Amino acid sequence: MSILVTGSTGAIGTQVVNGLVAQSATVHALTRNPDKASLPKGVRAVAGEMTDVESMRAALKDVDTLFLLNAVVADEVTQALITLNLAREAGIQRIVYFSVQNSDAFTDVPHFTGKYTVERAIEQLNLPATVLRPSYFMQNDVMLKGALENGVYPMPLGELGVSMIDTRDIAEIAVASLLRREQAATPLPREVIELVGPDAITGNDAAAIWSETLCKPVAYGGNDLVGFEKNMASRAPSWSAYDIRLMLARFQSDGMLPKPGAIDVMTGILGHAPRSYREFAKETAASWTA
Protein backbone atom coordinates (compact mmCIF):
# COMPACT_ATOMS: atom_id res chain seq x y z
CA MET A 1 0.00 0.00 0.00
CA SER A 2 1.22 3.51 -0.74
CA ILE A 3 0.32 7.07 0.24
CA LEU A 4 0.48 10.00 -2.20
CA VAL A 5 1.25 13.30 -0.47
CA THR A 6 0.43 16.47 -2.40
CA GLY A 7 2.03 19.73 -1.29
CA SER A 8 4.89 17.45 -0.31
CA THR A 9 7.63 20.11 -0.25
CA GLY A 10 5.70 22.78 1.67
CA ALA A 11 5.70 23.58 5.38
CA ILE A 12 3.04 21.00 6.26
CA GLY A 13 3.72 18.47 3.52
CA THR A 14 7.39 18.13 4.42
CA GLN A 15 6.50 17.27 8.01
CA VAL A 16 3.83 14.81 6.88
CA VAL A 17 6.26 13.04 4.55
CA ASN A 18 8.88 12.82 7.32
CA GLY A 19 6.30 11.55 9.81
CA LEU A 20 5.08 8.86 7.44
CA VAL A 21 8.62 7.73 6.67
CA ALA A 22 9.32 7.49 10.41
CA GLN A 23 6.39 5.05 10.59
CA SER A 24 7.81 2.97 7.71
CA ALA A 25 5.00 3.94 5.31
CA THR A 26 5.45 3.73 1.56
CA VAL A 27 5.30 7.36 0.40
CA HIS A 28 4.92 8.96 -3.02
CA ALA A 29 5.58 12.71 -3.00
CA LEU A 30 3.94 14.84 -5.68
CA THR A 31 6.24 17.57 -6.95
CA ARG A 32 6.63 19.67 -10.09
CA ASN A 33 10.36 19.00 -10.23
CA PRO A 34 11.32 15.52 -8.94
CA ASP A 35 15.00 16.09 -9.77
CA LYS A 36 15.13 19.12 -7.48
CA ALA A 37 13.00 17.77 -4.62
CA SER A 38 14.82 17.12 -1.35
CA LEU A 39 13.04 14.09 0.08
CA PRO A 40 13.89 11.44 2.70
CA LYS A 41 15.47 8.21 1.56
CA GLY A 42 12.93 5.76 0.23
CA VAL A 43 10.34 8.36 -0.78
CA ARG A 44 9.34 8.17 -4.43
CA ALA A 45 9.22 11.61 -6.08
CA VAL A 46 6.32 11.75 -8.53
CA ALA A 47 6.10 14.43 -11.21
CA GLY A 48 2.74 16.11 -11.38
CA GLU A 49 0.74 19.30 -11.35
CA MET A 50 -2.88 19.38 -10.23
CA THR A 51 -4.15 21.18 -13.33
CA ASP A 52 -2.33 18.70 -15.60
CA VAL A 53 -4.84 15.86 -15.75
CA GLU A 54 -2.61 13.25 -17.38
CA SER A 55 0.22 13.86 -14.92
CA MET A 56 -2.24 13.46 -12.02
CA ARG A 57 -3.69 10.27 -13.50
CA ALA A 58 -0.16 8.87 -13.59
CA ALA A 59 0.61 10.10 -10.06
CA LEU A 60 -2.53 8.46 -8.63
CA LYS A 61 -1.83 5.11 -10.25
CA ASP A 62 -0.94 2.36 -7.75
CA VAL A 63 -1.85 4.62 -4.82
CA ASP A 64 -4.18 3.49 -2.02
CA THR A 65 -4.29 6.63 0.17
CA LEU A 66 -4.27 10.33 -0.72
CA PHE A 67 -3.24 13.34 1.34
CA LEU A 68 -4.81 16.26 -0.50
CA LEU A 69 -3.26 19.60 0.43
CA ASN A 70 -3.66 22.58 -1.90
CA ALA A 71 -1.73 25.81 -1.55
CA VAL A 72 -3.85 28.96 -1.29
CA VAL A 73 -3.73 29.91 -4.96
CA ALA A 74 -6.21 31.48 -7.35
CA ASP A 75 -7.23 28.14 -8.91
CA GLU A 76 -7.22 26.14 -5.67
CA VAL A 77 -10.78 24.80 -6.07
CA THR A 78 -10.12 23.62 -9.62
CA GLN A 79 -6.96 21.84 -8.50
CA ALA A 80 -8.70 20.10 -5.61
CA LEU A 81 -11.81 18.99 -7.49
CA ILE A 82 -9.81 17.65 -10.43
CA THR A 83 -7.63 15.66 -8.03
CA LEU A 84 -10.61 14.33 -6.07
CA ASN A 85 -12.41 13.19 -9.20
CA LEU A 86 -9.28 11.54 -10.58
CA ALA A 87 -8.82 9.79 -7.22
CA ARG A 88 -12.38 8.46 -7.50
CA GLU A 89 -11.64 7.20 -11.01
CA ALA A 90 -8.53 5.47 -9.67
CA GLY A 91 -10.61 3.75 -6.98
CA ILE A 92 -8.88 5.46 -4.04
CA GLN A 93 -11.05 5.11 -0.94
CA ARG A 94 -8.71 6.48 1.71
CA ILE A 95 -8.42 10.28 1.68
CA VAL A 96 -7.29 12.98 4.09
CA TYR A 97 -8.22 16.48 2.95
CA PHE A 98 -6.56 19.61 4.35
CA SER A 99 -9.20 22.33 4.86
CA VAL A 100 -9.40 25.23 7.35
CA GLN A 101 -11.19 25.98 10.60
CA ASN A 102 -14.50 27.83 10.11
CA SER A 103 -14.53 26.93 6.42
CA ASP A 104 -18.31 26.68 6.66
CA ALA A 105 -18.76 29.98 8.50
CA PHE A 106 -16.38 32.54 6.97
CA THR A 107 -18.21 32.60 3.64
CA ASP A 108 -16.81 35.98 2.55
CA VAL A 109 -13.20 34.76 2.74
CA PRO A 110 -12.26 33.25 -0.64
CA HIS A 111 -9.90 30.50 0.45
CA PHE A 112 -12.23 29.44 3.28
CA THR A 113 -15.23 29.13 0.98
CA GLY A 114 -13.06 27.39 -1.61
CA LYS A 115 -12.04 24.71 0.87
CA TYR A 116 -15.63 24.31 2.05
CA THR A 117 -16.69 23.77 -1.56
CA VAL A 118 -14.28 20.83 -1.67
CA GLU A 119 -15.67 19.57 1.65
CA ARG A 120 -19.19 19.64 0.19
CA ALA A 121 -17.99 17.65 -2.82
CA ILE A 122 -16.47 15.05 -0.48
CA GLU A 123 -19.82 14.81 1.34
CA GLN A 124 -22.00 14.71 -1.79
CA LEU A 125 -19.81 12.12 -3.47
CA ASN A 126 -19.77 10.10 -0.24
CA LEU A 127 -15.99 9.82 -0.28
CA PRO A 128 -14.41 8.05 2.71
CA ALA A 129 -12.27 10.91 3.99
CA THR A 130 -10.92 12.67 7.03
CA VAL A 131 -11.31 16.44 6.71
CA LEU A 132 -8.77 18.34 8.79
CA ARG A 133 -9.75 21.90 9.72
CA PRO A 134 -6.68 23.68 11.14
CA SER A 135 -6.70 27.13 12.67
CA TYR A 136 -4.16 29.88 11.89
CA PHE A 137 -0.60 28.49 12.05
CA MET A 138 1.63 29.68 14.89
CA GLN A 139 4.59 29.32 12.51
CA ASN A 140 3.18 32.11 10.33
CA ASP A 141 4.53 34.44 13.01
CA VAL A 142 8.14 33.35 12.38
CA MET A 143 8.18 35.88 9.52
CA LEU A 144 7.51 38.68 12.02
CA LYS A 145 11.05 38.57 13.41
CA GLY A 146 12.03 42.03 12.15
CA ALA A 147 8.91 43.73 13.49
CA LEU A 148 9.19 41.96 16.85
CA GLU A 149 12.82 42.96 17.22
CA ASN A 150 11.65 46.53 16.60
CA GLY A 151 9.12 46.19 19.41
CA VAL A 152 5.88 45.63 17.47
CA TYR A 153 3.59 42.61 17.01
CA PRO A 154 2.04 43.62 13.67
CA MET A 155 -0.62 40.97 12.87
CA PRO A 156 -4.06 42.61 13.34
CA LEU A 157 -5.64 39.63 15.11
CA GLY A 158 -8.18 41.73 17.02
CA GLU A 159 -9.52 41.40 20.55
CA LEU A 160 -11.60 38.17 20.48
CA GLY A 161 -8.84 35.59 20.12
CA VAL A 162 -7.52 33.08 17.60
CA SER A 163 -6.84 29.48 18.65
CA MET A 164 -3.54 29.29 16.76
CA ILE A 165 -2.06 25.82 16.22
CA ASP A 166 1.51 24.58 15.95
CA THR A 167 2.19 22.99 12.55
CA ARG A 168 3.87 20.06 14.28
CA ASP A 169 0.55 19.11 15.87
CA ILE A 170 -1.15 19.43 12.49
CA ALA A 171 1.39 17.11 10.88
CA GLU A 172 1.21 14.55 13.67
CA ILE A 173 -2.58 14.31 13.35
CA ALA A 174 -2.39 14.20 9.55
CA VAL A 175 0.07 11.30 9.76
CA ALA A 176 -2.09 9.46 12.31
CA SER A 177 -5.19 9.97 10.16
CA LEU A 178 -3.46 8.73 7.00
CA LEU A 179 -2.05 5.63 8.69
CA ARG A 180 -5.36 4.79 10.36
CA ARG A 181 -7.14 4.90 7.01
CA GLU A 182 -4.37 3.11 5.14
CA GLN A 183 -4.21 0.28 7.65
CA ALA A 184 -7.96 -0.24 7.97
CA ALA A 185 -9.32 -3.38 6.36
CA THR A 186 -12.20 -1.44 4.79
CA PRO A 187 -12.77 2.28 4.03
CA LEU A 188 -13.55 4.22 7.21
CA PRO A 189 -16.53 6.59 7.65
CA ARG A 190 -16.15 10.27 6.76
CA GLU A 191 -15.09 12.53 9.65
CA VAL A 192 -14.11 16.14 10.38
CA ILE A 193 -11.37 16.98 12.89
CA GLU A 194 -10.87 20.57 14.07
CA LEU A 195 -7.22 21.41 14.76
CA VAL A 196 -6.67 24.21 17.27
CA GLY A 197 -4.32 25.43 19.96
CA PRO A 198 -5.07 25.45 23.70
CA ASP A 199 -5.37 29.25 23.99
CA ALA A 200 -7.34 31.96 22.20
CA ILE A 201 -4.62 34.52 21.41
CA THR A 202 -5.54 38.18 20.85
CA GLY A 203 -3.21 40.75 19.34
CA ASN A 204 -2.45 42.08 22.81
CA ASP A 205 -1.88 38.54 24.14
CA ALA A 206 0.66 37.84 21.41
CA ALA A 207 2.46 41.12 22.09
CA ALA A 208 2.61 40.33 25.82
CA ILE A 209 3.99 36.83 25.19
CA TRP A 210 6.70 38.20 22.90
CA SER A 211 7.54 40.92 25.45
CA GLU A 212 8.07 38.23 28.06
CA THR A 213 9.96 35.95 25.68
CA LEU A 214 12.29 38.59 24.21
CA CYS A 215 12.72 40.42 27.54
CA LYS A 216 11.86 43.74 25.90
CA PRO A 217 8.70 45.80 25.38
CA VAL A 218 6.59 44.63 22.42
CA ALA A 219 3.42 46.55 21.61
CA TYR A 220 0.42 45.39 19.60
CA GLY A 221 0.33 47.20 16.26
CA GLY A 222 -3.45 47.55 16.26
CA ASN A 223 -6.35 46.52 14.03
CA ASP A 224 -5.60 48.51 10.87
CA LEU A 225 -6.68 46.21 8.04
CA VAL A 226 -6.26 48.81 5.29
CA GLY A 227 -2.62 49.30 6.20
CA PHE A 228 -2.08 45.56 6.49
CA GLU A 229 -3.49 44.92 3.01
CA LYS A 230 -1.40 47.70 1.49
CA ASN A 231 1.77 46.37 3.09
CA MET A 232 1.10 42.77 2.04
CA ALA A 233 0.17 43.78 -1.51
CA SER A 234 3.64 45.30 -1.89
CA ARG A 235 5.14 41.78 -1.72
CA ALA A 236 2.30 39.43 -2.72
CA PRO A 237 -0.47 39.31 -5.35
CA SER A 238 -3.26 41.79 -4.64
CA TRP A 239 -5.91 39.02 -4.60
CA SER A 240 -3.94 37.21 -1.88
CA ALA A 241 -3.50 40.37 0.21
CA TYR A 242 -7.23 41.07 0.02
CA ASP A 243 -8.10 37.44 0.84
CA ILE A 244 -5.96 37.56 3.99
CA ARG A 245 -7.42 40.95 4.91
CA LEU A 246 -10.92 39.45 4.75
CA MET A 247 -9.78 36.57 6.98
CA LEU A 248 -8.33 38.97 9.54
CA ALA A 249 -11.54 41.01 9.46
CA ARG A 250 -13.42 37.88 10.51
CA PHE A 251 -10.85 37.24 13.25
CA GLN A 252 -11.63 40.73 14.52
CA SER A 253 -15.42 40.43 14.27
CA ASP A 254 -15.91 36.76 15.24
CA GLY A 255 -12.67 35.40 16.64
CA MET A 256 -11.39 31.94 15.65
CA LEU A 257 -12.37 29.79 18.59
CA PRO A 258 -12.57 25.99 18.96
CA LYS A 259 -15.77 24.02 19.16
CA PRO A 260 -16.44 22.18 22.45
CA GLY A 261 -14.41 19.00 22.75
CA ALA A 262 -11.90 19.83 19.99
CA ILE A 263 -8.90 19.87 22.34
CA ASP A 264 -9.92 16.53 23.89
CA VAL A 265 -10.16 14.92 20.45
CA MET A 266 -6.75 16.25 19.47
CA THR A 267 -5.14 15.20 22.75
CA GLY A 268 -6.46 11.69 22.26
CA ILE A 269 -4.90 11.45 18.80
CA LEU A 270 -1.62 13.18 19.67
CA GLY A 271 -1.04 11.46 22.99
CA HIS A 272 -0.14 14.87 24.42
CA ALA A 273 -1.77 18.27 24.83
CA PRO A 274 -1.55 20.60 21.81
CA ARG A 275 1.46 22.91 21.98
CA SER A 276 0.86 26.44 23.25
CA TYR A 277 1.72 29.75 21.61
CA ARG A 278 3.99 30.57 24.54
CA GLU A 279 5.96 27.36 23.93
CA PHE A 280 6.21 28.21 20.24
CA ALA A 281 7.44 31.75 21.00
CA LYS A 282 10.13 30.49 23.38
CA GLU A 283 11.41 27.89 20.92
CA THR A 284 11.36 30.37 18.05
CA ALA A 285 13.23 33.05 19.99
CA ALA A 286 15.83 30.47 21.03
CA SER A 287 16.34 29.49 17.38
CA TRP A 288 16.83 33.13 16.43
CA THR A 289 19.50 33.49 19.14
CA ALA A 290 21.21 30.29 18.06
pLDDT digits over 225-268, tens only? 999 999 999 999 999 999 999 999 999 999 999 999 999 999 99
25-39, 178-192, 230-244: segment of lowest average pLDDT: 25-39
* SS3 call for 214: helix
Look up the CATH number of domain 3-135+167-195+259-274. 3.40.50.720
Distance, in Å, from the CA atom of 60 to the CA atom of 270, rounded to the nearest integer, reads 29
Mean pLDDT on 2-22: 96
pLDDT the model gives residue 239: 97
Nearest to 113 by CA among 130, 99, 124: 99
35 burial (CB, 10 Å; 0-12 / 13-18 / 19+) is: exposed
E strands present in 120-177: 129-134, 152-153
Q: Are 34 and 48 in contact (CB under 8 A)?
A: no
pLDDT the model gives residue 51: 94
CA distances from 82 to 57, 66, 72, 236 (A): 10, 13, 16, 26
Q: Are 102 and 111 in contact (CB under 8 A)?
A: no
Distance, in Å, from the CA atom of 137 to the CA atom of 141, rounded to the nearest integer, reads 8
| Entry pTM | 0.96
CB proximity list for 285: less than 8 A, separation 6 or greater: 213, 214
